[in-house]
């Protein structure tokens, strides 16, 4: 008989936390971690043994589901606009972060350099769930949200690949740069290929189907199937899931699904992400308590806490070097990243599920596949290298989610990001209602064309929709007329859209040979300057950080 009591207990805790955070200004995921810690310290976990957060559970259930949901919700147009920043942060940025954290931990903590590099790879991926939730709440600029989410999606993949490469080198005992580079390239390119093929194939399969349940089922098969197949082929499953999710969210959802099916699919994955995050972060909090209690003795507690503090410093230094270095470099060639955004990118690079999963994946001393170096003792900590890596990982994740997670809101307030004005909230509500009615009206037209409803019912419903949409349009026009900043924001969106369309046209002309590289580059530089000027000009009645 399957014991579901532990899972019910986790869901009860998550539900209580979800309700409590409506009244207490605390990010949901951070509140879940604190709840998990409380369960561990108070012994409530003994009421029903909580599920063990294993490597397989995290990698094959949580990670594919959460990454796929994030990918289908990410607008590929915004991704293209910020592609260079995202690529730089997620690919060379991860490698640089791994090297810096490894070197700093080696010198500050006294851990062997190779093992410290492994720790650096584990702590490179970011998990911005709570930060993105805050962005949505306060109306942070779309471009900033895109960079944060895009970096997290791709650096999860590169972080895991880097971890596997370093672990392979530890097992062989030889540092071969050519072998490492080849393995890294194979994992990344293979993941891109598998994700692209799987996503496109699913896109084609969805076209003739008009059943929201079957279509949603195909996306579930894709999310977890792409991950499993990538593992069998020895390539990055995370990258494969990201690519396939982008294809479904940006192409299949609009070209192969009806509005009803698209709504059902997006609603399912939104709830799935909420459920997975709820369970995952409660278990992370509980697992942090269990690991720290099981691995640390009273004699090793103080040295371990000191080492965790030094590891946190190392991670912050590496994060600062990557974020400020990449954004400064990109700003020389592309639209500049506003300085307040850089601070948010730095402090908001939280760590969560991926480092935990990688720590759980480390083989214990004496187990098959465990590098010989894992048995060595880390001076000053009194722990084996393997146990020290696990303790440092869990400690850094805990500090990241609590200290940085709880202080990101005050930081953003200090930097000038402000709460959404009531009139903007009202305008967004009216927009959402109008768009939903337009979709419903289009669905009604389709039902009438397919003879699902008769003409009398159709005309009555159509009249009702038209009257409601006309009333909403009138309310929106009155709201814009009475509040100039809404008109300014609309004008800014129009200008940005036009400039991006011009860039796309120039790039197409250059690709077709109708424009020389020199002429195209001059035009693109001019457009980029206008984009920078547009980003730099603060909207009226708002903060300098409140952009579209």
C-alpha to C-alpha distance for 264 and 279, rounded to whole angstroms: 23
Distances from the Cα of 156 to the Cα of 63, 89, 95, 196, 503, angstroms: 9, 11, 12, 18, 30
Q: What is the pLDDT of residue 233?
A: 93
Q: What is the pLDDT of residue 368?
A: 81
**Local structure of 378: helix, strand or coil:** strand
- Which DSSP state fits 367? S
Question: Which residues contact residue 454 at a Cβ distance below 8 angstroms, ignoring those fewer than 6 apart?
Answer: none
For 41-84, what is each residue's pLDDT tens digit?
Answer: 776 655 456 666 677 787 888 889 988 998 998 888 888 888 88
Written in H, E and C, the secondary structure of 281-339 is: HHHHHHHHHHHHHHHCCHHHHHHHHHHHHHHHHHHHHHHHHHHHHHHHHHCCCCCCCCH
- Quick one: CA dihedral 543, 21, 63, 167, positive or negative? positive
pTM: 0.73
Structure tokens at 373: 């170096």
Helix (H) or strand (E) segment spanning residue 384? strand 383-384
For 269-301, what is each residue's pLDDT tens digit?
Answer: 999 988 988 888 888 888 777 777 776 777 778
Question: Which residues contact residue 341 at a Cβ distance below 8 angstroms, ignoring those fewer than 6 apart?
Answer: 141, 144, 147, 327, 545
Q: What is the pLDDT of residue 548?
A: 38
The count of other CB atoms within 10 Å of the CB of residue 252 is 26
C-alpha to C-alpha distance for 491 and 455, rounded to whole angstroms: 41
If we measure between CA atoms, which residue out of 364, 416, 354, 388 comes closest to residue 156? 354
C-alpha to C-alpha distance for 417 and 55, rounded to whole angstroms: 38
Of all residues in the chain, what percent carry a pLDDT higher than 90? 30
Q: What is the pLDDT of residue 80?
A: 85
Task: Mark residue 2 as left, alpha or beta (left: phi above 0; alpha: psi -120 to 50; beta: remaining).
Answer: beta
Distances from the Cα of 65 to the Cα of 188, 226, 238, 239, 535, angstroms: 20, 11, 10, 13, 34
- Quick one: CA dihedral 55, 241, 279, 48, positive or negative? negative
Q: What are phi and psi of 204, to 5 degrees?
A: -70, -35
Poorest-confidence range of 117-131, 184-198, 308-322? 117-131
Q: What is the pLDDT of residue 197?
A: 97
Rounded average pLDDT over 256-279: 87
Beta-strand pair 377-378/383-384:
antiparallel
Q: What is the pLDDT of residue 532?
A: 60
C-alpha to C-alpha distance for 97 and 103, rounded to whole angstroms: 10
C-alpha to C-alpha distance for 246 and 269, rounded to whole angstroms: 14
Q: What is the pLDDT of residue 2?
A: 59
Q: What is the pLDDT of residue 52?
A: 67
Q: What share of the chain is helix, strand, coil (3-state, %, to 5)?
A: 80, 0, 20
Residue with tokens 């796309």: 504
Beta bridge partners of 384: 377
Structure tokens at 524: 């693109």
Asked whether the beta carbons of 95 and 270 are under 8 A apart, the reply is: no
Distances from the Cα of 374 to the Cα of 382, 388, 460, angstroms: 13, 9, 73
Asked whether the beta carbons of 405 and 350 are under 8 A apart, the reply is: yes
Poorest-confidence range of 129-143, 210-224, 279-293? 129-143
Structure tokens at 338: 């506003």
Q: What is the pLDDT of residue 76?
A: 87
Q: What is the pLDDT of residue 182?
A: 84
Of all residues in the chain, what percent carry a pLDDT higher than 70? 92
Rounded average pLDDT over 362-375: 84
Question: Which residues contact residue 61 at a Cβ distance below 8 angstroms, ignoring those fewer than 6 apart?
Answer: 276
Structure tokens at 233: 């082929």
Q: What is the pLDDT of residue 315?
A: 96
C-alpha to C-alpha distance for 201 and 186, rounded to whole angstroms: 22
Q: What are phi and psi of 378, to 5 degrees?
A: -80, 120
């Amino acid at each position: 008989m399957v014991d579901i009591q532990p899972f019910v207990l986790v869901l009860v805790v998550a539900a209580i936390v979800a309700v409590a955070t409506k009244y207490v200004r605390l990010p949901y995921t951070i509140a879940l971690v604190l709840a998990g810690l409380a369960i561990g310290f108070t012994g409530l976990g003994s009421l029903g043994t909580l599920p063990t957060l294993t490597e397989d559970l995290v990698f094959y259930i949580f990670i594919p589901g959460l990454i796929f949901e994030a990918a289908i919700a990410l607008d590929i147009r915004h991704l293209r606009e910020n592609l260079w920043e995202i690529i730089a942060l997620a690919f060379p940025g991860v490698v640089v972060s791994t090297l810096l954290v490894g070197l700093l931990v080696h010198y500050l903590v006294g851990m062997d350099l190779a093992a410290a590099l492994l720790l650096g790879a584990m702590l490179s991926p970011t998990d911005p769930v709570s930060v993105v939730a805050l962005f949505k709440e306060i109306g942070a600029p779309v471009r900033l949200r895109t960079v944060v989410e895009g970096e997290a999606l791709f650096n999860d993949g590169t972080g895991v690949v880097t971890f596997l490469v370093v672990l392979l080198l530890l097992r062989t005992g030889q540092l071969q740069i050519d072998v490492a580079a080849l393995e890294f390239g194979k994992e990344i390119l293979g993941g891109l290929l598998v994700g692209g093929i799987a996503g496109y194939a699913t896109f084609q399969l969805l076209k003739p189907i008009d059943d929201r349940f079957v279509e949603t089922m195909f996306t579930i098969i894709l999310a977890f199937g792409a991950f499993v197949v990538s593992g069998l082929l020895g390539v990055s499953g995370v990258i494969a899931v990201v690519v396939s999710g982008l294809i479904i969210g940006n192409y299949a959802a609009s070209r192969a699904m009806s509005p009803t099916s698209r709504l059902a699919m997006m609603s399912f994955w939104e709830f799935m992400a909420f459920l997975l995050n709820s369970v995952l972060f409660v278990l992370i909090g509980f697992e942090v308590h269990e690991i720290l209690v099981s691995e640390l003795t009273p004699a090793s507690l103080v040295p371990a806490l000191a080492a965790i503090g030094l590891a946190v410093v190392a991670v912050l230094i590496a994060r600062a070097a990557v974020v400020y270095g990449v954004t400064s470099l990109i700003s020389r060639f592309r639209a500049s990243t506003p300085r307040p955004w850089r601070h948010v990118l730095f402090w908001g690079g939280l760590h969560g599920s991926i480092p935990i999963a990688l720590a759980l994946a480390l083989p214990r001393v004496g187990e098959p596949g465990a590098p010989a170096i894992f048995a060595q003792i880390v001076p000053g900590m009194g722990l084996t290298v393997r146990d020290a890596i696990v303790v440092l990982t869990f400690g850094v994740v805990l500090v990241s989610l609590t200290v940085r997670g709880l202080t990101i809101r005050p930081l953003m307030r200090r930097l000038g990001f402000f709460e959404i004005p009531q009139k903007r909230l009202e305008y967004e509500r009216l927009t959402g209602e109008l768009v939903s009615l337009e979709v419903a009206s289009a669905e009604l037209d389709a039902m009438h064309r397919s003879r699902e409803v008769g003409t009398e019912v159709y005309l009555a419903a159509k009249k009702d929709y038209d009257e409601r949409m006309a009333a909403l349009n009138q309310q929106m026009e009155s709201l814009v007329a009475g509040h100039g900043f809404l008109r300014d924001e609309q004008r800014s969106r129009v200008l940005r859209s036009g400039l991006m369309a011009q860039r796309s046209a120039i790039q197409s002309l250059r690709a077709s040979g109708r424009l020389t590289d020199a002429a195209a580059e001059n035009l693109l530089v001019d457009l980029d300057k206008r984009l920078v000027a547009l980003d730099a000009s603060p909207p009226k009645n708002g903060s300098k950080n409140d952009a579209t």
